[in-house]
Amino acid sequence: MNILPYPHPALRWKSKQIQEINDDLRRVVAEMFTLMYAAKGIGLAANQVGLPYRLFVLNLSGDAEDKEEELVFINPEILKRKGSTEGEEGCLSFPGMYGQVKRAAKIEVEAFDLNGQCFGYSLDDLAARAVQHETDHLDGVLFIDRMTETAARDLQPVVADFETQFRRWQSDGRYPSDEVLKRELLAMESRPPLVAKS
Ligand code: ZN
């Protein structure tokens, strides 16, 4: 399992609801946390590691030792959004790129945890921003889609570089073609339980 760079097609995938919480899923979650900490992130969505399921992990402290801050969101739904705010965001699928993104200032979110328990939070500040960013991932929506006009314009060349690099990797054979990758995602969707590909 690896963190996939933009524009890998998994990042534009609208992910499917998770039907069952099992040992495969628990292993995937553990590995996602490991990858997230190694990349110095605070959140990671399943489609960023090539799994088309509605799941993300979060640790706002970014500290692997701070297990109490670890949260797993399975099948999350943002029920309410209030206000509007701009702030800087990065994304592990766009390493090194940061820009101003518009988000709701406050949200209410519900999800299931790894024990299958439903939980809900009212969030603001960084937590609200991170949950909106990660929930967007599950719908194939990226932070570049929600940037301010200025940030989108300024970062356009950087985004283009990510695209050029990924297409180069595809022609080198480091990644298969989009067609093959999409076929793999479709196959995984209809074939739970989760199988984490290396
Ligand atoms: Zn992201």
With bands split at pLDDT 50, 70 and 90, how would you rate the model's confidence at 198? Answer: very low
Number of H helices, E strands in the chain: 4, 7
Q: How far is the CA of 92 from the centre of ligand 1 (A)?
A: 6
Position 130 pLDDT exceeds 70: yes
Record the tokens describing residue 44, joined without a space.
Answer: 């990671």
Indicate whether 173 belongs to any domain.
yes
Contact (CB, 8 A) for 131 and 123: yes
Q: How far is the CA of 11 from the centre of ligand 1 (A)?
A: 9
pLDDT in tens, 57-89: 999 999 999 999 999 999 999 999 999 999 999
Give the residue-averaged pLDDT of 16-23: 90
Q: How far is the CA of 51 from the centre of ligand 1 (A)?
A: 14
Indicate whether 128 belongs to any domain.
yes
Q: How far is the CA of 69 from the centre of ligand 1 (A)?
A: 19
Indicate whether 138 belongs to any domain.
yes
CATH of the domain at 171: 3.90.45.10
Range of the domain at 104: 9-185
Cα 24–chain centre separation: 19
Indicate whether 130 belongs to any domain.
yes
Indicate whether 58 belongs to any domain.
yes
* Average pLDDT over the chain, rounded to an integer: 94
pTM: 0.94
Q: How far is the CA of 141 from the centre of ligand 1 (A)?
A: 9
Q: Which residue has the higher pLDDT, 193 or 4?
A: 4
Question: Which parts of the chain are beta strand (E)?
Answer: 43-45, 55-58, 71-82, 85-90, 98-103, 106-112, 118-124
Indicate whether 160 belongs to any domain.
yes
Domain count, the chain: 1
Q: In whole angstroms, give the CA distance from residue 109 to residue 132.
A: 9
Q: How far is the CA of 104 from the centre of ligand 1 (A)?
A: 17
Position 162 pLDDT exceeds 60: yes
By annotation, the residues acting in catalysis are 134
Q: Compute the half-sphere exposure of residue 158: CA atoms within 13 Å on the CB side of its CA.
A: 15
Position 107 pLDDT exceeds 50: yes
Within 7-96, where are the H helices?
A: 23-38
Record the tokens describing residue 47, joined without a space.
Answer: 């489609």
Cα 20–chain centre separation: 20
Indicate whether 46 belongs to any domain.
yes
